[in-house]
Structures are given as structure tokens and as C-alpha cells.
């Protein structure tokens, strides 16, 4: 049996799977456009401008400006994760899209790689929609905040890979609620998103830095949108790149095990 750490053989045909998902997305673009746009407005209005009026500056940064990059990071995480859990599961199990594609010259590895690339693309789309809203509110710095777009792709690929691991082992679509509520929600709250990591106990800080990808993404997003490098820049970059490489390999092999009977 192939190890989950074996390097998968992915061809250029994976782009065809990505293109197929893009075509489907474009047919319903009006429905897909508004959620990230409204999400940015809600976060900035309710938390940034609402709660922010009761919260002082954090490290000399107004609270609404402090949470703006976290909003982008959360959007990257949610877009890729839910696309490659519920979205991929529906395409695999209910729509039988994977079976149909594998009947062509494309391999299972190509299909899953295409799904991962599409999950990362969804993250980029979300950030590209939300970024102008943040610019309009004056809470991000141009042109450095444009770095959020390529960063969204890399981090989106990471979250897509993590999501696909859960999709590969879940017995049913309802079971995907567990990682959504027990992994994604805690990570959203305790990754330096709405308050600094420094206010948490030291043990939780180490857990966040060691196991929460969102912690590193928020830190990098904050550096990009505020045009200021932080002390953990190198750690954040290395952690994201290393984890992305690992979670490109593992989900493809896990899905291969699931789909080959």
C-alpha cells in the first residue's frame, strides 16, 4: 500500500479539473460574489466599528485596523476549507463528478490536485472581493496589502489540503461538522485574530504557533496590510510553506485510498 507521504504523480491535466470547477462557479457568480462582500461589511461594522469603540488601540493600532487582516485570513481559511470538505464531498459522493472525470484520461491524483487548486482559488476570489471593501474603509495600506492575494493562494492551498484530509476519511457528509466546529471555530478564535496571542497563557500561545495554520496566516496578513514586518516573519513563512507541501501530498494519497476499491 502506498504511504500517505509518497509523492503523488500529478500531471498538467489537473488544471482541467480546476477549469471545470471555475466554469461552474462562473455560472453562479452573482450568488458567490455577495457573501464575502457582505461578510467584510458585517465584520468591520459590528466588530470593528461597534465593539471597537469600546476597545482601545492595540500596539498603537486602532482596533478596526487590527482586525482587518484577520478578516482576510479567516475568509481564506473558510473559503478553502468548506469548498474542499462539503463542496468536494458533494462532487465526489452525490454528483459522482469524480467517477465521471476518472473515466477520462485524468487520474485520481489529477482530480484531487485540481480540487486543491480550486480550493486555493476560492480563497483568492474571496480576498479579491473583500480587499476593496477594506481599502474603502481605510483600514489597509496600499500597495503592500496587494500581497494578500498571492498569500491567499498559498494559504488557501494549505487549508484546502487539510480539508481534503477530512473529506478522505469522513464516513458521511454530516461528520464534516466535527472538524468545522472542533477545529475551524477554535482556530478562528484563538489565532491572534480578535486579540493578541500575548494575552493568552503561554501554553496556549505555543499550541497556536505549533498547530494552528491561521495563527501564521493572520500574522503574515497583518504584516502585509500594515506594511510592517513582525519578529516572527521568517517563522510564519517557513511554517506556511512547509505545511502546504505536506498537505499537498497527504490528501491526494488519502483520497486515492478511498476512491480505489
Q: What is the pLDDT of residues 128-164, one digit of tens each?
A: 999 988 988 888 888 889 999 999 999 999 999 999 9
Joined grid coordinates for residue 17: 479539473
Position 6 in a domain: no
Residue 58's DSSP bridge partners are 61
Mean pLDDT of the 177-199 span: 93
What is the model's pLDDT at position 230? 76
Position 38 in a domain: yes
Contact 167, 88 (CB under 8 A): yes
Rounded to 10°, the helix 14-27/29-42 angle is 80
Mean pLDDT of the 108-119 span: 96
Give the model confidence (pLDDT) of 189-240 as tens digits. 999 999 999 999 999 999 999 999 999 999 999 998 887 777 889 999 999 9
Residue 83's Cα: distance from chain center in Å?
9
Joined grid coordinates for residue 110: 489529477
Rounded to 10°, the helix 29-42/108-137 angle is 50
Position 7 in a domain: no
What is the three-class DSSP state of 61? strand
Joined grid coordinates for residue 144: 503592500
Residue of 88, 79, 80, 77 whose CA lies nearest to 184: 77
Q: Where are the alpha helices (DSSP H) in 138-184?
A: 148-169, 177-179
What is the model's pLDDT at position 180? 93
What is the model's pLDDT at position 255? 94
This model's pTM is above 0.85:
yes
Burial of 35: CB neighbours in 10 Å, binned 0-12, 13-18, 19+: middle
**Euclidean distance between CA atoms 191 and 164, whole angstroms:** 22
Confidence of residue 175 (pLDDT cuts 50, 70, 90): very high
Residue of 199, 233, 188, 187 whose CA lies nearest to 58: 199
Residue 43 has a CB neighbour count (10 Å cut-off) of: 23
Q: List the domain range (segments joined by +) for residue 206.
A: 14-259
142 φψ region: left (φ > 0), alpha (ψ -120 to 50), beta (else): beta
Contact 66, 147 (CB under 8 A): no
Residue 27's Cα: distance from chain center in Å?
23
Position 93 in a domain: yes
In this predicted structure, the answer to whether residue 178 has a pLDDT above a threshold of 60 is yes
What is the model's pLDDT at position 261? 58
DSSP E strand stretches across 95-205? none
Position 55 in a domain: yes
**Euclidean distance between CA atoms 186 and 211, whole angstroms:** 12
Average pLDDT, the chain: 91
What is the model's pLDDT at position 69? 93
**Euclidean distance between CA atoms 100 and 106, whole angstroms:** 10
More confident residue, 127 or 46: 127
> What is the number of domains present in the chain?
1
Residue of 222, 46, 225, 212 whose CA lies nearest to 134: 225
**Euclidean distance between CA atoms 192 and 186, whole angstroms:** 11
Contact 18, 117 (CB under 8 A): yes
Position 48 in a domain: yes
Amino acid at each position: 500500500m502506498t504511504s500517505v507521504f509518497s509523492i503523488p504523480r500529478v500531471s498538467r491535466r489537473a488544471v482541467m479539473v480546476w477549469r471545470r470547477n471555475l466554469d461552474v462557479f462562473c455560472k453562479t457568480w452573482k450568488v458567490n460574489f455577495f457573501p464575502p462582500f457582505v461578510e467584510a461589511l458585517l465584520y468591520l461594522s459590528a466588530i470593528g466599528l461597534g465593539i471597537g469603540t469600546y476597545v482601545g488601540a492595540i500596539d498603537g493600532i486602532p482596533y478596526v485596523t487590527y482586525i482587518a487582516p484577520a478578516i482576510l485570513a479567516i475568509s481564506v481559511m473558510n473559503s478553502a476549507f468548506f469548498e474542499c470538505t462539503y463542496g468536494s464531498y458533494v462532487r465526489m459522493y452525490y454528483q459522482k463528478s469524480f467517477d465521471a472525470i476518472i473515466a477520462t484520461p485524468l487520474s485520481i491524483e489529477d482530480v484531487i490536485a485540481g480540487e486543491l487548486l480550486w480550493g486555493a482559488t476560492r480563497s483568492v476570489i474571496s480576498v479579491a472581493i473583500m480587499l476593496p471593501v477594506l481599502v474603502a474603509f481605510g483600514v489597509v495600506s496600499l500597495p503592500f496589502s496587494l500581497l494578500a492575494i498571492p498569500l491567499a493562494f498559498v494559504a488557501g492551498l494549505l487549508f484546502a489540503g487539510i480539508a481534503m484530509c477530512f473529506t478522505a476519511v469522513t464516513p458521511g457528509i454530516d461528520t464534516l461538522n466535527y472538524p468545522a466546529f472542533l477545529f475551524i471555530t477554535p482556530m478562528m478564535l484563538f489565532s491572534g485574530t480578535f486579540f493578541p496571542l500575548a494575552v493568552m497563557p503561554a501554553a496556549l500561545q505555543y499550541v497556536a504557533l505549533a498547530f494552528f495554520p491561521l495563527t501564521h496566516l493572520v500574522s503574515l496578513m497583518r504584516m502585509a496590510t500594515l506594511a510592517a514586518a513582525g519578529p516572527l516573519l521568517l517563522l510564519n513563512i517557513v511554517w506556511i510553506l512547509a505545511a502546504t507541501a505536506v498537505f499537498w501530498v497527504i490528501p491526494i494519497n488519502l483520497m486515492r485510498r478511498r476512491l480505489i476499491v
